[in-house]
Structure 1
Amino acid sequence: MKLTAPARYPRVKGALIAVGLSGMLAAAAPVGAQNATQGPHMDPAAIDRAIVEFTGLPIGQEGSARMPADRRLRLAACAAPLGISWHGRARTTLAVSCAGPQPWRIFIAAHTANVPDKAEPVVTRGDPLTIAVRGRGFTVQQAGEAMENGSPGDWIAVRTSRDAQPVRARIERPGLAIIPAP
């Protein structure tokens, strides 16, 4: 379709172009809307794998998700990497989110130890620690220092040297803090 207008009427020419473009966009809009609503769903097994990578522990084990993600979930497929973090100070829930074009966020219960609410800290601020980064098939250790008090299972700030930025690590036992590798 060729749109023509005399050169002496530039406004008419601009209006014809705008009408033509809006018609093409209107014709294409229903196709895009159908694809957005009928697109693939996020595989709950992929959410489980991401949680295992984040916690470094299998589903159902203490310190990881209590149960696998609900298979009935119909979340939009995530084009971006999943974001996983602990939700709340007690670390009893994992927050899993997608920051893609169709964002979503879910919460998954974590399997926590039956530790009394006021367990005595086994690590105090300034204590020397072994900071271990654990991944699939490897462990890297380095000496460090606790920046906070903590009991087994607590996530506290630790640092490897005086000049290093603090990072979060999970206290496993007195003198040992673990950082799960993604």
Structure 2
Amino acid sequence: MPKLSPLFAGGLLAAIAAASPAIASGPMDPAAIDRAVMEFTGAGIGQPGGARLPVDRRMRLNACGTPLQLEWFGKNRDSVQVLCPDAGWRIYVAVSQGAQQAALADQPGSGEIVVSRGETVAIVVEGGGFSLSRQAVALEEGAIGSWIKVRPAQDRKAEPLRAQVVRPGQVAVRLR
């Protein structure tokens, strides 16, 4: 095998480095992720439709050498997935209720009240591998995607819960 001169080998390495895509060094700025999410959702942090909270400043993600990829995540679009393929990381940013309602606004019949105050509804509680259902009374009216207060039908003294309207006659609470 022929030996390469140090000068040629150094030039070869420089040429390879120049031909390969730029890889960012150092940590990713969480404020840059916040700005990207703000541009994606069209709302600021803490505003209806925007991120609930800023990205945790304690996270140490590798800098992204390519533009961040953002997309809605979850059945109710209650998070934004932020992906950096070249650095190999992905995070999820929770968004406020306004974004969920805006996302559901594209669906037919949105904005239409489907649960009335005083109506008996099924409340479904879902969590890691389980689902429970029982009857409740709606204390507020709501459209699909909106959050309303409900109280278990059998216990008038129970504390009201906030649940999301899923369809006419059904609300849900999702435990994570």
TM-score, scaled to structure 1: 0.45
TM-score, scaled to structure 2: 0.47
Question: More strand per residue: 1 or 2?
Answer: 2
Larger Rg: 1
